[in-house]
Amino acid sequence: MQSFQHSRARLGERIRRLREATAATRGPAPEICADCQGTGWVIRNQDGVSRASRCECWIREKIGKLRQSAGIPIRYARCTFDGFTVYPNEDLERALRRAREFADRFPVRQNSLLLAGPSGIGKTHLAAAILNECAGKGIGGVYCESATLLTRLRSTYDKNSGTQDTDILRRLTNADLLVLDDLGGEQLTRWGQNMLHMVLNSRYNQDLATVCTTRLPPSPHERDSLLFEIGGRLLSMLHQMCDVVEFDGADYRHAGEHPDADTLETLWDERRRRTVGPTPQARFVPEQRLQP
């Protein structure tokens, strides 16, 4: 331990000299953490024994890198569960509770999630909050919008693209956690169905969790369902690997910036009054699955 402390002291001295040497030509260097002196480690005494542990500055930096590398869109980059505005809506509260439970348990093995419901009710917010919560635990993930993914894969067929489709697919199939947003946003060709099936099937076989969102009904028996956009084979795979969380609510996008609960409750009441027939109820449907 003495040699470690000696090495840390020498490193701190070298950092100090480097800062002094570069300050005149490049301006002041970034501040060095007073706790670890830039090493990322701190020495703490526990029960009379000196132990090295990661410094808080290193943890914050790692979390920031994980969130940045996830590729979450700027609009959703700071989404959290606490920042998700709720109002008297049992469907929405159930969906929030299920998403939070998923993030709390991760990376413990569990079923994937399919968040389903109309546009603007907060599906992407919840999916991004799951990614951010897991990054806070040091777990990396990847966000990908399904239509954008297929566009990127098509672009690799251009010889001048500089990217191979295998590089994109490998990142998605091997990520600890994948968010596949807006499934059914466009009708898939047979090629598109094959690409998404390859990603989901690979993750299912590796026991890797995936969070999917869709604005279409996930049941093949409902009108204008997800079946007609992505095909029966892909929908069957989703039901096999995912717990389906279907919910409804007010459209946040029609409520202005940072709407409060009262505004959303008013919009939700108006929407229900305009709905013909009974309001769709949220369903949490663990499907019967084949054991791997």
Mean pLDDT for the chain overall: 84
pLDDT tens-place string over residues 53-109:
788 887 788 877 888 888 899 999 999 999 999 999 999 999 999 999 999 999 998
Closest CA to 153 of 96, 56, 46, 145: 145
Q: How far apart are CA 85 and CA 122, in angstroms?
A: 9
Q: How far apart are CA 195 and CA 165, in angstroms?
A: 10
Residues 252, 115, 256, CA angle at the centre, nearest 5°? Answer: 5
**pTM higher than the cut 0.75:** yes
Closest CA to 125 of 99, 163, 87, 164: 99
Fold annotation for 66-286? Rossmann fold (3.40.50)
CATH 3.40.50.300 location in the chain: 66-286
pLDDT tens-place string over residues 214-254:
999 888 888 788 888 898 899 999 999 999 999 999 998 88
What is the amino acid identity at position 156?
A: T
Which spans in 225-260 are helix H? 227-230, 232-241
Cβ atoms of residues 149 and 137 within 8 Å: no
